Structure 1
Amino acid sequence: MKYLRCLSPAVVLLLLSVTGLDMDHLQAENLNLLSPDEHKLVLNRGMRVLPRDCYEMLMASSGQARDGVYLIQPGDSPIVAYCAMQEGGWTVVQHITVNSSVNFDRTWAEYKKGFGFITGDHWLGNDYLHQLTRGPARYKLGIKLVDQDAVTKMGQYDPFLVEDEASAYRLRLGLFEGTTVDALTLDTENYLHDNQKFTTKDRDNDNYFQNCAKLEFQGVPGGGWWYDACAGANLNRRNVIYWQKDCNKERLCKYAWMMVRPSDTVKLIQSGDCKKDEL
Protein backbone atom coordinates (compact mmCIF):
# COMPACT_ATOMS: atom_id res chain seq x y z
CA MET A 1 0.00 0.00 0.00
CA LYS A 2 1.34 3.45 -0.95
CA TYR A 3 1.24 5.96 1.85
CA LEU A 4 0.22 9.61 1.98
CA ARG A 5 3.74 10.75 2.78
CA CYS A 6 4.15 11.08 -0.98
CA LEU A 7 1.40 13.67 -1.29
CA SER A 8 2.06 17.31 -0.51
CA PRO A 9 -0.24 19.06 1.98
CA ALA A 10 -1.54 21.28 -0.83
CA VAL A 11 -2.56 18.24 -2.90
CA VAL A 12 -4.25 16.63 0.10
CA LEU A 13 -6.24 19.78 0.87
CA LEU A 14 -7.31 19.99 -2.78
CA LEU A 15 -8.55 16.41 -2.62
CA LEU A 16 -10.41 17.14 0.59
CA SER A 17 -12.31 19.92 -1.15
CA VAL A 18 -13.43 17.86 -4.16
CA THR A 19 -17.18 18.12 -4.78
CA GLY A 20 -19.66 16.96 -7.37
CA LEU A 21 -18.26 13.45 -7.70
CA ASP A 22 -20.44 10.53 -8.77
CA MET A 23 -21.35 8.84 -5.50
CA ASP A 24 -22.19 5.59 -7.31
CA HIS A 25 -18.44 4.97 -7.36
CA LEU A 26 -17.95 5.37 -3.62
CA GLN A 27 -16.44 2.05 -2.57
CA ALA A 28 -16.13 0.84 1.03
CA GLU A 29 -16.43 -2.61 2.52
CA ASN A 30 -18.67 -1.28 5.30
CA LEU A 31 -20.63 1.28 3.30
CA ASN A 32 -23.80 -0.09 4.92
CA LEU A 33 -22.85 1.93 8.01
CA LEU A 34 -23.72 5.07 6.04
CA SER A 35 -27.17 5.80 4.67
CA PRO A 36 -27.26 6.73 0.94
CA ASP A 37 -27.97 10.34 1.93
CA GLU A 38 -24.78 10.36 4.00
CA HIS A 39 -22.43 9.29 1.21
CA LYS A 40 -21.85 12.96 0.44
CA LEU A 41 -20.43 13.39 3.96
CA VAL A 42 -17.26 11.42 3.12
CA LEU A 43 -14.65 14.19 3.18
CA ASN A 44 -11.81 12.55 1.22
CA ARG A 45 -13.83 10.71 -1.43
CA GLY A 46 -11.68 12.19 -4.21
CA MET A 47 -8.42 10.68 -2.97
CA ARG A 48 -6.69 8.11 -5.13
CA VAL A 49 -4.35 6.96 -2.34
CA LEU A 50 -6.14 6.37 0.94
CA PRO A 51 -4.72 6.81 4.44
CA ARG A 52 -4.31 3.80 6.68
CA ASP A 53 -6.09 5.56 9.54
CA CYS A 54 -7.36 8.96 10.63
CA TYR A 55 -4.01 10.02 12.11
CA GLU A 56 -2.29 9.49 8.77
CA MET A 57 -4.99 11.59 7.11
CA LEU A 58 -4.47 14.38 9.66
CA MET A 59 -0.70 14.39 9.21
CA ALA A 60 -0.99 14.42 5.43
CA SER A 61 -3.22 17.51 5.63
CA SER A 62 -0.76 19.30 7.93
CA GLY A 63 -3.37 19.25 10.66
CA GLN A 64 -6.06 20.90 8.52
CA ALA A 65 -8.43 17.91 8.17
CA ARG A 66 -11.64 18.42 10.13
CA ASP A 67 -13.80 16.05 12.15
CA GLY A 68 -16.02 13.81 10.04
CA VAL A 69 -16.33 10.69 7.91
CA TYR A 70 -13.34 9.53 5.87
CA LEU A 71 -12.32 6.62 3.71
CA ILE A 72 -9.38 4.77 5.23
CA GLN A 73 -7.66 1.55 4.26
CA PRO A 74 -6.12 -0.42 7.14
CA GLY A 75 -6.35 -3.68 5.16
CA ASP A 76 -6.92 -4.79 1.59
CA SER A 77 -10.18 -2.86 1.11
CA PRO A 78 -11.33 0.69 1.94
CA ILE A 79 -13.72 1.28 4.81
CA VAL A 80 -15.51 4.35 6.14
CA ALA A 81 -14.73 5.59 9.65
CA TYR A 82 -15.42 8.64 11.76
CA CYS A 83 -12.29 10.66 12.50
CA ALA A 84 -11.90 12.79 15.61
CA MET A 85 -9.38 15.15 14.04
CA GLN A 86 -9.62 17.97 16.58
CA GLU A 87 -8.61 15.55 19.33
CA GLY A 88 -5.49 14.40 17.49
CA GLY A 89 -6.50 12.18 14.59
CA TRP A 90 -8.23 9.35 16.43
CA THR A 91 -10.11 6.68 14.46
CA VAL A 92 -13.43 6.11 16.26
CA VAL A 93 -14.14 2.39 16.55
CA GLN A 94 -17.13 2.56 18.90
CA HIS A 95 -19.69 5.11 20.05
CA ILE A 96 -22.69 4.48 22.26
CA THR A 97 -25.39 6.63 23.82
CA VAL A 98 -27.19 5.38 26.90
CA ASN A 99 -30.58 4.03 25.80
CA SER A 100 -29.36 4.12 22.21
CA SER A 101 -31.78 3.24 19.43
CA VAL A 102 -28.98 1.10 17.97
CA ASN A 103 -29.19 -2.45 19.28
CA PHE A 104 -25.81 -3.75 20.53
CA ASP A 105 -27.21 -7.26 21.21
CA ARG A 106 -25.62 -8.65 18.04
CA THR A 107 -24.16 -11.85 16.67
CA TRP A 108 -20.53 -12.76 16.14
CA ALA A 109 -20.85 -12.03 12.40
CA GLU A 110 -22.32 -8.57 13.07
CA TYR A 111 -19.59 -7.64 15.54
CA LYS A 112 -17.05 -8.92 13.04
CA LYS A 113 -18.02 -6.49 10.27
CA GLY A 114 -19.67 -3.74 12.30
CA PHE A 115 -23.15 -2.27 12.71
CA GLY A 116 -24.97 0.96 13.50
CA PHE A 117 -24.25 4.34 11.94
CA ILE A 118 -20.77 5.82 11.46
CA THR A 119 -22.16 9.28 12.21
CA GLY A 120 -23.76 8.07 15.46
CA ASP A 121 -23.83 4.97 17.64
CA HIS A 122 -21.88 2.10 16.09
CA TRP A 123 -19.30 -0.67 16.35
CA LEU A 124 -16.75 -0.41 13.54
CA GLY A 125 -16.07 -4.15 13.43
CA ASN A 126 -13.65 -6.60 15.04
CA ASP A 127 -12.01 -7.40 11.71
CA TYR A 128 -11.19 -3.72 11.24
CA LEU A 129 -10.00 -3.38 14.84
CA HIS A 130 -7.57 -6.19 14.10
CA GLN A 131 -6.48 -4.65 10.79
CA LEU A 132 -5.89 -1.27 12.40
CA THR A 133 -3.96 -2.46 15.43
CA ARG A 134 -1.81 -5.20 13.93
CA GLY A 135 0.69 -2.61 12.69
CA PRO A 136 3.12 -1.77 11.22
CA ALA A 137 2.86 1.07 13.75
CA ARG A 138 2.09 0.40 17.40
CA TYR A 139 -1.38 1.58 18.34
CA LYS A 140 -3.05 2.84 21.50
CA LEU A 141 -6.64 2.77 22.68
CA GLY A 142 -8.47 5.87 23.84
CA ILE A 143 -11.55 5.76 26.08
CA LYS A 144 -13.79 8.83 26.42
CA LEU A 145 -16.68 8.94 28.90
CA VAL A 146 -19.25 11.70 29.47
CA ASP A 147 -21.48 11.53 32.54
CA GLN A 148 -24.90 13.04 33.27
CA ASP A 149 -23.28 16.28 34.48
CA ALA A 150 -21.34 16.63 31.19
CA VAL A 151 -18.07 15.81 32.98
CA THR A 152 -15.66 14.18 30.50
CA LYS A 153 -13.00 11.66 31.48
CA MET A 154 -10.33 10.17 29.24
CA GLY A 155 -8.11 7.11 29.48
CA GLN A 156 -5.48 5.52 27.23
CA TYR A 157 -3.90 2.07 26.94
CA ASP A 158 -0.58 1.86 25.13
CA PRO A 159 -0.05 -0.41 23.30
CA PHE A 160 -3.38 -1.82 22.14
CA LEU A 161 -3.90 -4.88 19.96
CA VAL A 162 -6.90 -6.94 18.89
CA GLU A 163 -5.82 -10.34 17.62
CA ASP A 164 -7.38 -12.05 14.60
CA GLU A 165 -10.61 -14.06 14.40
CA ALA A 166 -8.78 -17.36 14.85
CA SER A 167 -7.77 -16.06 18.30
CA ALA A 168 -11.37 -14.90 18.95
CA TYR A 169 -10.23 -11.26 18.70
CA ARG A 170 -8.33 -11.51 21.98
CA LEU A 171 -7.64 -8.16 23.65
CA ARG A 172 -4.05 -7.13 24.41
CA LEU A 173 -3.40 -3.97 26.41
CA GLY A 174 -0.36 -2.12 27.69
CA LEU A 175 0.14 0.64 30.26
CA PHE A 176 -2.75 2.86 31.31
CA GLU A 177 -2.89 6.58 31.94
CA GLY A 178 -5.75 9.05 32.19
CA THR A 179 -8.51 10.54 34.33
CA THR A 180 -10.81 7.50 34.12
CA VAL A 181 -10.21 4.51 36.36
CA ASP A 182 -8.30 1.63 34.77
CA ALA A 183 -11.25 -0.69 34.25
CA LEU A 184 -9.61 -3.10 31.80
CA THR A 185 -6.25 -4.11 33.27
CA LEU A 186 -6.61 -3.28 36.99
CA ASP A 187 -8.45 -6.09 38.77
CA THR A 188 -10.17 -3.98 41.44
CA GLU A 189 -13.50 -5.82 41.22
CA ASN A 190 -12.27 -9.31 40.33
CA TYR A 191 -12.66 -8.71 36.59
CA LEU A 192 -9.69 -8.61 34.25
CA HIS A 193 -10.58 -7.80 30.64
CA ASP A 194 -7.04 -7.69 29.32
CA ASN A 195 -6.11 -10.93 27.47
CA GLN A 196 -9.77 -11.99 27.21
CA LYS A 197 -11.41 -13.31 24.05
CA PHE A 198 -14.45 -11.59 22.56
CA THR A 199 -17.89 -13.00 23.44
CA THR A 200 -21.23 -12.50 21.69
CA LYS A 201 -24.67 -13.98 22.32
CA ASP A 202 -23.94 -16.78 19.84
CA ARG A 203 -20.23 -17.30 20.66
CA ASP A 204 -19.39 -17.85 24.32
CA ASN A 205 -15.69 -17.31 25.06
CA ASP A 206 -15.92 -15.85 28.58
CA ASN A 207 -14.97 -17.30 31.96
CA TYR A 208 -18.46 -17.47 33.45
CA PHE A 209 -20.70 -20.56 33.60
CA GLN A 210 -23.29 -18.62 31.58
CA ASN A 211 -22.85 -16.45 28.49
CA CYS A 212 -22.13 -12.94 29.76
CA ALA A 213 -23.40 -11.36 26.54
CA LYS A 214 -26.86 -12.81 27.27
CA LEU A 215 -27.15 -11.62 30.86
CA GLU A 216 -29.78 -8.90 31.14
CA PHE A 217 -30.22 -5.75 33.20
CA GLN A 218 -33.66 -4.14 33.00
CA GLY A 219 -34.43 -6.49 30.10
CA VAL A 220 -31.40 -5.49 28.03
CA PRO A 221 -28.64 -8.06 27.28
CA GLY A 222 -24.99 -7.20 27.77
CA GLY A 223 -23.91 -7.14 24.12
CA GLY A 224 -20.57 -8.32 22.74
CA TRP A 225 -17.43 -7.62 24.79
CA TRP A 226 -14.13 -8.97 26.11
CA TYR A 227 -15.76 -10.51 29.16
CA ASP A 228 -14.08 -12.15 32.09
CA ALA A 229 -16.75 -13.47 34.49
CA CYS A 230 -18.42 -11.12 33.65
CA ALA A 231 -17.54 -7.39 33.56
CA GLY A 232 -16.17 -4.45 35.47
CA ALA A 233 -16.30 -2.57 32.20
CA ASN A 234 -18.69 -2.92 29.27
CA LEU A 235 -19.21 -0.12 26.77
CA ASN A 236 -21.67 -2.12 24.66
CA ARG A 237 -24.59 -2.34 27.08
CA ARG A 238 -26.99 0.29 25.81
CA ASN A 239 -29.10 0.91 28.91
CA VAL A 240 -26.21 1.31 31.37
CA ILE A 241 -22.66 2.14 30.31
CA TYR A 242 -20.24 0.36 32.66
CA TRP A 243 -16.77 1.56 33.57
CA GLN A 244 -16.27 0.54 37.20
CA LYS A 245 -16.68 3.61 39.48
CA ASP A 246 -16.90 6.13 36.61
CA CYS A 247 -20.01 4.78 34.87
CA ASN A 248 -22.52 2.38 36.43
CA LYS A 249 -26.13 2.00 37.62
CA GLU A 250 -25.72 4.66 40.29
CA ARG A 251 -23.48 7.03 38.31
CA LEU A 252 -25.01 7.14 34.86
CA CYS A 253 -22.98 8.11 31.82
CA LYS A 254 -24.55 9.56 28.68
CA TYR A 255 -21.92 8.70 26.08
CA ALA A 256 -18.87 6.53 25.55
CA TRP A 257 -16.28 6.39 22.77
CA MET A 258 -13.48 3.97 21.90
CA MET A 259 -10.81 5.34 19.57
CA VAL A 260 -7.43 4.23 18.22
CA ARG A 261 -4.37 5.97 16.83
CA PRO A 262 -0.64 5.25 16.49
CA SER A 263 1.09 5.47 19.85
CA ASP A 264 4.17 7.23 18.49
CA THR A 265 4.33 10.38 16.39
CA VAL A 266 5.04 9.36 12.82
CA LYS A 267 6.30 11.84 10.29
CA LEU A 268 4.26 10.86 7.24
CA ILE A 269 5.09 13.78 4.99
CA GLN A 270 8.64 13.69 3.78
CA SER A 271 10.28 15.46 0.89
CA GLY A 272 12.47 13.95 -1.77
CA ASP A 273 11.55 10.30 -1.20
CA CYS A 274 8.68 9.76 -3.66
CA LYS A 275 8.73 8.12 -7.01
CA LYS A 276 6.50 9.32 -9.83
CA ASP A 277 4.56 6.07 -9.95
CA GLU A 278 3.52 6.51 -6.32
CA LEU A 279 1.33 9.53 -7.11
Structure 2
Amino acid sequence: MTFDVCFVRLMLFLLPSLFGVNAEHLRAENVHLLPADQHHVVMNYGMRVLPRDCHEMLLSSSGHARDGVYLIRPGDSAIVVYCAMREGGWTIVQHITVNSSVSFDRAWADYKHGFGYVTGDHWLGNEYLHQLSAGPARYKLGVKLVDRDAVTKTGEYDPFLVEDESSAYRLRLGLFQGTAGDALMQHTEHYLHDNQKFTTKDRDNDNYFQNCAKLEFQGVAGGGWWYDACAGANLNRRNVIYWQKDCNKERLCKYAWMMVKPSETVKPVHCSDCKKDEL
Protein backbone atom coordinates (compact mmCIF):
# COMPACT_ATOMS: atom_id res chain seq x y z
CA MET A 1 0.00 0.00 0.00
CA THR A 2 1.45 3.38 -1.02
CA PHE A 3 1.87 6.34 1.31
CA ASP A 4 -0.85 8.27 -0.57
CA VAL A 5 -3.40 5.50 -0.05
CA CYS A 6 -2.49 5.23 3.63
CA PHE A 7 -2.85 8.99 4.02
CA VAL A 8 -6.29 9.01 2.40
CA ARG A 9 -7.52 6.17 4.63
CA LEU A 10 -6.20 7.98 7.68
CA MET A 11 -7.93 11.22 6.73
CA LEU A 12 -11.26 9.46 6.21
CA PHE A 13 -11.57 8.62 9.88
CA LEU A 14 -9.81 11.77 11.17
CA LEU A 15 -12.05 14.25 9.29
CA PRO A 16 -14.81 14.40 11.93
CA SER A 17 -12.42 15.51 14.67
CA LEU A 18 -10.40 17.81 12.43
CA PHE A 19 -13.38 19.69 11.06
CA GLY A 20 -15.79 19.49 13.99
CA VAL A 21 -18.42 17.25 12.42
CA ASN A 22 -21.53 17.30 14.59
CA ALA A 23 -21.49 14.06 16.55
CA GLU A 24 -24.48 15.02 18.68
CA HIS A 25 -26.11 11.68 17.95
CA LEU A 26 -23.07 9.61 18.81
CA ARG A 27 -24.24 6.02 19.02
CA ALA A 28 -22.32 4.27 21.77
CA GLU A 29 -23.63 2.07 24.54
CA ASN A 30 -21.34 3.81 27.04
CA VAL A 31 -21.77 7.34 25.70
CA HIS A 32 -21.96 8.51 29.33
CA LEU A 33 -18.16 8.08 29.47
CA LEU A 34 -17.69 11.01 27.10
CA PRO A 35 -18.98 14.53 27.94
CA ALA A 36 -21.58 15.79 25.48
CA ASP A 37 -19.39 18.72 24.49
CA GLN A 38 -16.58 16.32 23.57
CA HIS A 39 -18.44 14.00 21.22
CA HIS A 40 -16.66 15.69 18.33
CA VAL A 41 -13.26 14.40 19.53
CA VAL A 42 -14.07 10.82 18.45
CA MET A 43 -11.37 10.10 15.87
CA ASN A 44 -13.24 7.57 13.72
CA TYR A 45 -16.81 8.87 13.98
CA GLY A 46 -18.73 7.76 10.89
CA MET A 47 -16.51 4.77 10.20
CA ARG A 48 -18.78 2.16 8.58
CA VAL A 49 -17.19 -1.00 9.99
CA LEU A 50 -15.87 -0.45 13.50
CA PRO A 51 -12.76 -2.22 14.78
CA ARG A 52 -13.00 -4.67 17.65
CA ASP A 53 -10.33 -2.87 19.67
CA CYS A 54 -7.70 -0.16 19.42
CA HIS A 55 -5.07 -2.49 18.04
CA GLU A 56 -7.31 -3.39 15.11
CA MET A 57 -7.92 0.32 14.55
CA LEU A 58 -4.17 0.92 14.46
CA LEU A 59 -3.69 -1.86 11.92
CA SER A 60 -6.52 -0.57 9.71
CA SER A 61 -4.81 2.83 9.59
CA SER A 62 -1.51 1.19 8.60
CA GLY A 63 -0.01 2.44 11.85
CA HIS A 64 -0.93 6.10 11.37
CA ALA A 65 -3.74 6.39 13.96
CA ARG A 66 -3.09 8.89 16.74
CA ASP A 67 -3.74 8.63 20.49
CA GLY A 68 -7.31 9.62 21.28
CA VAL A 69 -10.95 8.60 21.61
CA TYR A 70 -12.32 6.00 19.20
CA LEU A 71 -15.44 3.96 18.63
CA ILE A 72 -14.89 0.20 18.79
CA ARG A 73 -17.25 -2.78 18.76
CA PRO A 74 -16.05 -5.61 21.01
CA GLY A 75 -19.58 -7.04 21.28
CA ASP A 76 -22.98 -6.32 19.80
CA SER A 77 -22.82 -2.56 20.44
CA ALA A 78 -20.33 0.22 19.83
CA ILE A 79 -18.51 1.80 22.78
CA VAL A 80 -16.15 4.74 23.18
CA VAL A 81 -12.63 4.09 24.47
CA TYR A 82 -9.31 5.88 24.71
CA CYS A 83 -6.62 4.32 22.53
CA ALA A 84 -2.90 4.49 23.30
CA MET A 85 -1.76 4.21 19.70
CA ARG A 86 1.84 5.37 20.16
CA GLU A 87 2.38 2.51 22.61
CA GLY A 88 1.13 -0.08 20.14
CA GLY A 89 -2.65 0.13 20.05
CA TRP A 90 -3.65 -0.58 23.64
CA THR A 91 -7.30 -0.15 24.66
CA ILE A 92 -7.36 1.74 27.97
CA VAL A 93 -9.79 0.13 30.43
CA GLN A 94 -8.84 2.04 33.59
CA HIS A 95 -7.04 5.22 34.55
CA ILE A 96 -6.67 6.69 38.01
CA THR A 97 -4.90 9.71 39.45
CA VAL A 98 -4.02 9.74 43.14
CA ASN A 99 -6.60 11.88 44.98
CA SER A 100 -8.73 11.92 41.85
CA SER A 101 -11.96 13.91 41.89
CA VAL A 102 -13.62 10.82 40.38
CA SER A 103 -14.90 8.53 43.13
CA PHE A 104 -14.13 4.83 42.70
CA ASP A 105 -16.35 3.97 45.69
CA ARG A 106 -19.11 2.69 43.41
CA ALA A 107 -21.79 0.02 43.31
CA TRP A 108 -21.97 -3.06 41.09
CA ALA A 109 -23.99 -1.38 38.32
CA ASP A 110 -21.43 1.44 37.97
CA TYR A 111 -18.54 -1.00 37.73
CA LYS A 112 -20.50 -3.06 35.22
CA HIS A 113 -21.23 -0.20 32.80
CA GLY A 114 -18.30 2.11 33.64
CA PHE A 115 -17.89 5.57 35.15
CA GLY A 116 -15.75 8.68 34.83
CA TYR A 117 -14.65 9.92 31.41
CA VAL A 118 -12.44 8.01 28.96
CA THR A 119 -10.40 11.20 28.48
CA GLY A 120 -9.48 11.16 32.19
CA ASP A 121 -9.89 8.99 35.26
CA HIS A 122 -12.35 6.18 34.57
CA TRP A 123 -13.32 2.51 34.72
CA LEU A 124 -14.44 1.29 31.31
CA GLY A 125 -16.83 -1.31 32.72
CA ASN A 126 -16.63 -4.98 33.65
CA GLU A 127 -19.05 -5.94 30.90
CA TYR A 128 -16.75 -4.41 28.29
CA LEU A 129 -13.69 -5.99 29.91
CA HIS A 130 -15.47 -9.30 29.47
CA GLN A 131 -16.41 -8.57 25.85
CA LEU A 132 -12.89 -7.49 24.95
CA SER A 133 -11.05 -10.34 26.64
CA ALA A 134 -13.48 -13.11 25.62
CA GLY A 135 -12.05 -13.32 22.14
CA PRO A 136 -12.03 -14.55 19.48
CA ALA A 137 -8.37 -13.55 19.83
CA ARG A 138 -6.44 -14.14 23.04
CA TYR A 139 -5.82 -10.94 24.98
CA LYS A 140 -3.24 -9.68 27.45
CA LEU A 141 -3.55 -7.16 30.29
CA GLY A 142 -1.09 -4.31 30.63
CA VAL A 143 -0.43 -2.27 33.77
CA LYS A 144 1.41 1.05 33.81
CA LEU A 145 2.47 2.83 37.02
CA VAL A 146 4.05 6.28 37.41
CA ASP A 147 5.40 7.35 40.80
CA ARG A 148 5.86 10.90 42.11
CA ASP A 149 9.45 10.95 40.78
CA ALA A 150 8.10 10.21 37.28
CA VAL A 151 9.59 6.70 37.34
CA THR A 152 7.44 4.46 35.16
CA LYS A 153 7.02 0.71 35.65
CA THR A 154 5.01 -1.65 33.49
CA GLY A 155 3.82 -5.22 33.49
CA GLU A 156 1.82 -7.61 31.32
CA TYR A 157 -0.29 -10.70 32.04
CA ASP A 158 -0.68 -12.97 29.05
CA PRO A 159 -3.27 -14.37 28.61
CA PHE A 160 -5.98 -12.35 30.37
CA LEU A 161 -9.70 -13.01 30.69
CA VAL A 162 -12.63 -11.52 32.59
CA GLU A 163 -15.52 -13.96 32.73
CA ASP A 164 -19.15 -12.90 32.35
CA GLU A 165 -21.51 -11.47 34.97
CA SER A 166 -22.93 -14.87 35.91
CA SER A 167 -19.41 -15.68 37.16
CA ALA A 168 -19.18 -12.30 38.93
CA TYR A 169 -16.63 -11.14 36.33
CA ARG A 170 -14.01 -13.55 37.63
CA LEU A 171 -10.41 -12.66 36.71
CA ARG A 172 -8.17 -15.16 34.91
CA LEU A 173 -4.48 -14.39 34.44
CA GLY A 174 -1.57 -15.98 32.64
CA LEU A 175 2.20 -15.49 32.75
CA PHE A 176 3.60 -12.16 33.97
CA GLN A 177 6.53 -10.14 32.69
CA GLY A 178 7.60 -6.54 33.22
CA THR A 179 9.58 -4.05 35.28
CA ALA A 180 6.86 -3.84 37.95
CA GLY A 181 6.31 -6.59 40.48
CA ASP A 182 3.74 -9.31 39.92
CA ALA A 183 1.23 -7.94 42.42
CA LEU A 184 -1.82 -9.84 41.18
CA MET A 185 -0.43 -13.37 41.51
CA GLN A 186 2.35 -13.12 44.09
CA HIS A 187 2.41 -11.48 47.53
CA THR A 188 4.30 -11.93 50.79
CA GLU A 189 0.99 -12.47 52.60
CA HIS A 190 -0.26 -14.75 49.81
CA TYR A 191 -3.02 -12.56 48.45
CA LEU A 192 -3.93 -14.04 45.09
CA HIS A 193 -6.11 -12.04 42.72
CA ASP A 194 -6.07 -14.58 39.93
CA ASN A 195 -9.37 -16.50 39.84
CA GLN A 196 -11.09 -14.03 42.18
CA LYS A 197 -14.59 -12.70 41.60
CA PHE A 198 -15.20 -8.95 41.47
CA THR A 199 -16.39 -7.28 44.68
CA THR A 200 -18.13 -3.92 45.14
CA LYS A 201 -19.58 -2.24 48.20
CA ASP A 202 -23.01 -3.68 47.46
CA ARG A 203 -21.89 -7.16 46.30
CA ASP A 204 -19.40 -9.01 48.50
CA ASN A 205 -17.61 -11.79 46.62
CA ASP A 206 -14.25 -11.69 48.41
CA ASN A 207 -12.64 -14.12 50.88
CA TYR A 208 -12.56 -11.79 53.90
CA PHE A 209 -15.05 -11.81 56.78
CA GLN A 210 -15.86 -8.18 55.91
CA ASN A 211 -16.45 -6.54 52.54
CA CYS A 212 -13.02 -5.49 51.27
CA ALA A 213 -14.52 -2.78 49.04
CA LYS A 214 -15.87 -1.03 52.14
CA LEU A 215 -12.63 -0.99 54.15
CA GLU A 216 -11.28 2.55 54.45
CA PHE A 217 -7.87 4.17 54.60
CA GLN A 218 -7.80 7.85 55.55
CA GLY A 219 -11.55 7.93 55.09
CA VAL A 220 -11.50 6.52 51.53
CA ALA A 221 -13.05 3.13 50.78
CA GLY A 222 -11.20 0.55 48.71
CA GLY A 223 -13.48 0.58 45.67
CA GLY A 224 -14.42 -2.35 43.45
CA TRP A 225 -11.72 -4.95 42.76
CA TRP A 226 -10.88 -8.64 42.40
CA TYR A 227 -10.16 -9.00 46.12
CA ASP A 228 -8.85 -12.03 47.92
CA ALA A 229 -8.77 -11.31 51.67
CA CYS A 230 -8.06 -8.49 50.87
CA ALA A 231 -5.40 -7.19 48.44
CA GLY A 232 -1.87 -7.51 47.19
CA ALA A 233 -2.81 -4.83 44.68
CA ASN A 234 -5.66 -2.37 44.20
CA LEU A 235 -5.62 0.23 41.45
CA ASN A 236 -9.07 1.55 42.36
CA ARG A 237 -8.18 3.07 45.74
CA ARG A 238 -7.81 6.68 44.72
CA ASN A 239 -5.94 7.99 47.79
CA VAL A 240 -3.27 5.29 47.72
CA ILE A 241 -2.68 3.52 44.42
CA TYR A 242 -1.49 0.14 45.65
CA TRP A 243 0.77 -2.27 43.80
CA GLN A 244 2.91 -4.00 46.45
CA LYS A 245 6.41 -2.49 46.61
CA ASP A 246 5.97 -0.34 43.49
CA CYS A 247 3.05 1.79 44.75
CA ASN A 248 2.01 2.10 48.40
CA LYS A 249 1.71 4.49 51.35
CA GLU A 250 5.48 4.95 51.55
CA ARG A 251 6.09 5.02 47.81
CA LEU A 252 3.25 7.08 46.40
CA CYS A 253 2.27 6.68 42.78
CA LYS A 254 0.63 9.55 40.90
CA TYR A 255 -1.00 7.63 38.07
CA ALA A 256 -1.98 4.12 37.06
CA TRP A 257 -3.42 2.62 33.88
CA MET A 258 -4.85 -0.76 32.94
CA MET A 259 -5.08 -1.63 29.26
CA VAL A 260 -5.75 -4.60 27.01
CA LYS A 261 -4.44 -5.75 23.67
CA PRO A 262 -4.46 -8.96 21.59
CA SER A 263 -1.57 -11.30 22.36
CA GLU A 264 1.14 -11.44 19.73
CA THR A 265 1.78 -15.08 20.51
CA VAL A 266 -0.05 -17.82 22.33
CA LYS A 267 1.81 -18.58 25.54
CA PRO A 268 1.40 -21.48 27.95
CA VAL A 269 -1.37 -20.94 30.46
CA HIS A 270 -0.23 -20.43 34.04
CA CYS A 271 -3.14 -19.75 36.35
CA SER A 272 -4.33 -21.37 39.55
CA ASP A 273 -7.25 -23.79 39.56
CA CYS A 274 -8.05 -23.45 35.85
CA LYS A 275 -7.72 -25.75 32.89
CA LYS A 276 -5.89 -24.87 29.67
CA ASP A 277 -9.09 -24.86 27.64
CA GLU A 278 -10.69 -22.30 29.98
CA LEU A 279 -8.51 -19.44 28.74
Q: With structure 1 as the length reference, what TM-score do the two structures score?
A: 0.90
What amino acid is the match of 1:131? Q
- Equivalence map 1:66-77=2 (5 Å): 66-77=66-77
State the match for 2:80 in structure 1: 80
Q: Which whole-Å CA distance do the structure 2 matches of 1:158 and 1:172 have between them?
A: 10
Which stretches in structure 1 are left out of the alignment for 5+ residues? 1-7, 266-279
Q: Which whole-Å CA distance do the structure 2 matches of 1:23 and 1:34 have between them?
A: 12
TM-superposed deviation, 1:16: 1.8
TM-superposed deviation, 1:25: 2.7
SS at match of 1:23: coil
State the match for 1:179 in structure 2: 179
What amino acid is the match of 1:240? V
TM-superposed deviation, 1:22: 3.0
Q: Report 1 or 2 for greater relative contact order, CA contacts < 8 Å, sequence distance ≥ 6.
A: 1
Which stretches in structure 2 are left out of the alignment for 5+ residues? 266-279
Q: With structure 2 as the length reference, what TM-score do the two structures score?
A: 0.90
Q: Which whole-Å CA distance do the structure 2 matches of 1:12 and 1:226 have between them?
A: 41
**Residue 196 of structure 1 contacts residue 226 of structure 1 at CA under 8 Å; is this kept in 2?**
yes
What amino acid is the match of 1:147? D
State the match for 2:188 in structure 1: 188
Q: Which whole-Å CA distance do the structure 2 matches of 1:93 and 1:188 have between them?
A: 28
TM-superposed deviation, 1:23: 1.4
Matched, 1:261 2:258: no
State the match for 1:43 in structure 2: 43
Further displaced range: 172-181 or 186-195: 186-195
- Superimposed CA distance per residue, residues 120-162 of structure 1 (whole angstroms, 9 cap, x where no aligned partner): 0000000000000000000000000000100000000000000
Do the aligned partners of residues 11 and 77 (structure 1) sit closer, same or farther apart at CA in structure 2, a change above 3 Å counting?
farther
Q: What is the RMSD computed on CA atoms of the aligned residues? A: 1.3
Q: Which whole-Å CA distance do the structure 1 matches of 2:6 and 2:113 have between them?
A: 32
- Equivalence map 1:160-179=2 (5 Å): 160-179=160-179
State the match for 1:277 in structure 2: none
State the match for 1:16 in structure 2: 13
State the match for 1:248 in structure 2: 248
Q: Which whole-Å CA distance do the structure 1 matches of 2:187 and 2:25 have between them?
A: 48
Do the aligned partners of residues 96 and 259 (structure 1) sit closer, same or farther apart at CA in structure 2, a change above 3 Å counting?
same
State the match for 1:227 in structure 2: 227
SS at match of 2:24: helix
State the match for 1:145 in structure 2: 145
Q: How many residues align?
A: 259
TM-superposed deviation, 1:190: 1.7
Q: Which whole-Å CA distance do the structure 2 matches of 1:117 and 1:39 have between them?
A: 12
Q: Which whole-Å CA distance do the structure 2 matches of 1:225 and 1:43 have between them?
A: 31
What amino acid is the match of 1:202? D
Q: Which whole-Å CA distance do the structure 1 matches of 2:59 and 2:165 have between them?
A: 31
SS at match of 1:64: coil
State the match for 2:216 in structure 1: 216
State the match for 2:104 in structure 1: 104
- Superimposed CA distance per residue, residues 24-65 of structure 1 (whole angstroms, 9 cap, x where no aligned partner): 231100111111111111000020110000000001101100
SS at match of 1:12: helix
Q: Which whole-Å CA distance do the structure 2 matches of 1:30 and 1:187 have between them?
A: 35
**Residue 158 of structure 1 contacts residue 263 of structure 1 at CA under 8 Å; is this kept in 2?**
yes
- Superimposed CA distance per residue, residues 250-276 of structure 1 (whole angstroms, 9 cap, x where no aligned partner): 1000000000000127xxxxxxxxxxx
**Residue 181 of structure 2 contacts residue 246 of structure 2 at CA under 8 Å; is this kept in 1?**
yes
Q: Which whole-Å CA distance do the structure 1 matches of 2:189 and 2:181 have between them?
A: 12
